[in-house]
Structure 1
Amino acid sequence: MAQDRTLVLSVDRDDDIGWKAKIESPVVGRQECLKAATTLALADPEDSDVNAIFSAVKIYDELVAKGEDAVVAVIAGNHLHMIEGDRKIATTLDDVIKETRPTSCILVSDGAEDEFVVPIIQSRIPVASIRRVIVNQMPNLEGTYYILKKFFDDPKISRVVFVPLGLAMLLYAIAYILGYPGTATIIVIGVIGMYLLYKGFGLDEFIHNIISALQASMSRGKFSFVTYSTTIVLTVIGFTIGFFTVLNYYAADNSLGVLLYVMSFIYGAIFWLIIAGLVTSIGIIIDVYINERENLVKVIVFPFFVTAIGIILYGASAFILAISSVTGFPISAAAGGTYILYSTLLGLACAIAGVIIQFVMSKRQAETQKEAIIETI
């Protein structure tokens, strides 16, 4: 009967060994792990991952001294994108397990962040124990200042905190110099608000996925590369026109509330955003039709839903601006009711048409698959 083998695993979720020490994970074996810890310590002596790796080696030595069969390894994720990093950790762990063939795992972590990957590890190998390495520090004011300084020196953190604040302050200064102090305040609040929504709704990951899809479509020669590029241009145009629409109505009447400014932005931008959504949908449909035709039924509804949502938003923005008697708005209050009614009906009709087409295609696909199965029998 084969002896049980324990994998002592140190997880560097934010890839400090790659980012700072230029060491590619996985790192397997006692000597290689010590070399990686030493290199990282020379690159950044205050990094907590150094202690985690040394602790993993210490646990490995203790197990070996007891006569147990053990192996030590370090795996890392991604320094800037946690989703990609977790996927990398899963793939790397599979390679380590395939190479070392352990029966259980002891996870060594330098903090709660690394333990987010526990479900990933448990799905591949039983976790017998989790050891968290805590570095003792003197809790005085100077130490707190130093910790905060190191915290903000991390490019991953500084990008999130300093960039939006710096941009907001810069826009405020520009608007103030140009003689629009009231507008400057609105710009700062708007920039901070958009950034909070951007982070709150996870749009950063969404945009990152779009960029990744753009890179993948370009490298694979897909048609969607053209449509993704066009979508970015159309989206920028839409946001620009929406922003200028807000400024136009603000110049006419600066007493409008936040809701009316949002509605004026939608009214100005929605046409271009609808076109951008349609262009993206068409590119996805063409790629799926060429490469994965069996999945066409899942994406055929995209352009219908994009059009439906866009039309309804357009009607809603026109109606709210019209009944609010916004200065310079070309639609009267009476016509606003007609806009919301017809846009809602047209939007629902588009959505229903998409669902019907998807249902018909799904039914035909099921019948085709059934006939193919009967023919093989």
Structure 2
Amino acid sequence: MSGDRMLILCVDRDDDIGFKAGIQSPVTGRDECLDAATRLGLEDPEDSDVNAIFQGIKIYDERLEKGDDVRIAVIAGNHYNSIDGDRKIAEDLRKIVWDLEVTECILVTDGAEDEFILPVIQSHVSVSSVQRVIVNQMPNLEGTYYIIKKILDDPKHAQSILMPVGLVMLIFAIGSLLGTTELAIFIVVGVLGVFLLFKGLGIDEYFSLALRGLKESFIGGRISFVCYIASIFIGLLGIVMGLSSFLTWYTPDAGVLFYLLTFIYGSVGYIVAAILIALLGKIIDVIQNEPKMLPRTITLPFFVTGLGLIAYGASVYVISLPTIEGFPIDGVDGLRIMMLTTIAGLILAFIGFYIQKVLQKVEKYAPEVKEKSSKRFSRH
């Protein structure tokens, strides 16, 4: 028997044990893990996390019979937000490793999704083995039907799959009824492109965080809630004005970049104003509740305004190059405006950076310096 202590770790990244069975993670100990698997199995016998937890208990019993010093735990993430979920898993694992004093880990998962957090686990404890539990399914066509049904029954997957498909079909149907099939196809392709871009870059996660912040500000009765609501309406107005600008200066065969800049030309002022209003509410909340965060937050309005000026100047210059009837700015004036707005944007960025450095020297707003601990464990 070695002197190392082993942890059998079952990971439920989407927090089925909390969402379905109401179990607060982390769960430690054989009896507690067995109770969690039983309760989850009674709520949803088809959930693969049930099998993963039972597999973890089986491995625990086997290692215990061999005389190993072994512990078992189940940790879960967040059902709605994978970023918050992974952060919770990391924090819970840190506490478990500290409390149980384990030195190595056997990771038990129900699929590849849970293994995405393997680097997070390895940063806290050495992973000696990964055991994936694959549940036998019905063969051929019945198995395919079962998998599709499971995906559609899961609210998280159904929202990601059904919502964009339904939106695309609705837009195409409306466009066809209005007799503009080509425009409908153009909008459908654009919506799909934006959706795939958001998913690919993870922007949808930031929207989830924004909605969560809106909810927290409303519950907390903060001034930022009013600012967020106002910024949403102004942002929607900016989108409408951008589309209006696009339709006003639309020319055939002009290119995608030109179409994008016509949208920016009409919308950038409203969008920047919406962001500034939201940041104003955030800054007020920070001053009242987290003054140490003010140096990091105060630079954002300057950066956003600077980027808005640069984007506006670039759009004016590009639109003024072609011969467009009715556009009030010619190529020379467009170049001059682009140069002035670019310089102004850079100056604003430097001003924001300077204000940040000044505030960091003020004791009230200076960030706290955390002392480094020598070691987490001391072994004799």
Q: TM-score range by the shorter chain?
A: 0.7 to 0.9
Larger proportion of helix: 1
Counterpart selection for 2:305 from 298, 304, 307: 307
Residue aligned with 2:8, SS: strand
- Aligned residues: CA RMSD: 3.0
**Are the structure 2 counterparts of residues 93 and 350 from structure 1 closer, same or farther at C-alpha, using a change threshold of 3 Å?**
closer
Equivalence map 1:171-182=2 (5 Å): 171-182=171-182
1:260-317 deviations in Å (ceiling 9; x for gaps): 2211111111111111222233333333334444443333322222111111111111
Aligned length: 365
Equivalence map 1:90-169=2 (5 Å): 90-97=90-97, 100-137=100-137, 140-169=140-169
Partner letter of residue 91 of structure 2? T
Q: Distance in 1 between matches of 2:193 and 2:313?
A: 25
Q: Distance in 2 between matches of 1:55 and 1:203?
A: 36
Residues 10 and 107, structure 1, Cα contact 8 Å, conserved in 2: yes
Give the match for residue 372 of structure 1: none
Structure 1 runs (4+) greater than 6 angstroms displaced? none
Give the match for residue 192 of structure 2: 192
Give the match for residue 76 of structure 1: 76
Residues 325 and 333, structure 1, Cα contact 8 Å, conserved in 2: no
Residue aligned with 2:274, SS: helix
Moved more, 162-171 or 341-350: 341-350
Deviation of 1:192 (Å):
1.1
Deviation of 1:107 (Å):
1.8
Deviation of 1:163 (Å):
1.1
TM-score of the pair, normalised by structure 2:
0.84
Give the match for residue 280 of structure 1: 278
Give the match for residue 261 of structure 1: 259
Deviation of 1:362 (Å):
4.6
Q: Distance in 1 between matches of 2:287 and 2:138?
A: 62
**Are the structure 2 counterparts of residues 41 and 307 from structure 1 closer, same or farther at C-alpha, using a change threshold of 3 Å?**
same
Residue aligned with 1:300, SS: helix
Residue aligned with 1:301, SS: helix
Q: Distance in 2 between matches of 1:208 and 1:241?
A: 25
Deviation of 1:142 (Å):
4.1
Moved more, 224-233 or 76-85: 224-233
Deviation of 1:103 (Å):
4.7
**Are the structure 2 counterparts of residues 297 and 96 from structure 1 closer, same or farther at C-alpha, using a change threshold of 3 Å?**
closer
Give the match for residue 13 of structure 1: 13
Q: Distance in 2 between matches of 1:299 and 1:178?
A: 46
Give the match for residue 247 of structure 1: 247
1:216-236 deviations in Å (ceiling 9; x for gaps): 334444433332232222212
Give the match for residue 373 of structure 1: none
Q: Distance in 2 between matches of 1:277 and 1:329?
A: 28
Q: Distance in 2 between matches of 1:118 and 1:203?
A: 23
Give the match for residue 374 of structure 2: none
Give the match for residue 341 of structure 1: 339
**Are the structure 2 counterparts of residues 149 and 333 from structure 1 closer, same or farther at C-alpha, using a change threshold of 3 Å?**
same
Q: Any gaps of 5 or more consecutive residues in structure 1? A: 370-377
**Are the structure 2 counterparts of residues 43 and 356 from structure 1 closer, same or farther at C-alpha, using a change threshold of 3 Å?**
closer
1:2-40 deviations in Å (ceiling 9; x for gaps): 975433221111122233334333333333333332333
**Are the structure 2 counterparts of residues 42 and 350 from structure 1 closer, same or farther at C-alpha, using a change threshold of 3 Å?**
same
Q: Distance in 1 between matches of 2:122 and 2:60?
A: 20
Counterpart selection for 1:322 from 320, 323, 328: 320
Deviation of 1:353 (Å):
2.9
1:307-346 deviations in Å (ceiling 9; x for gaps): 1111111111112112123454333334322322222232
Partner letter of residue 156 of structure 1? K
Q: Distance in 2 between matches of 1:224 and 1:365?
A: 25
Deviation of 1:60 (Å):
1.5
Q: Distance in 2 between matches of 1:256 and 1:57?
A: 64
Give the match for residue 225 of structure 1: 225
Q: Distance in 1 between matches of 2:247 and 2:212?
A: 34
Q: What is the percent sequence identity of the aligned residues? A: 49
**Are the structure 2 counterparts of residues 337 and 167 from structure 1 closer, same or farther at C-alpha, using a change threshold of 3 Å?**
same
**Are the structure 2 counterparts of residues 361 and 56 from structure 1 closer, same or farther at C-alpha, using a change threshold of 3 Å?**
closer
Give the match for residue 56 of structure 1: 56
Give the match for residue 34 of structure 2: 34
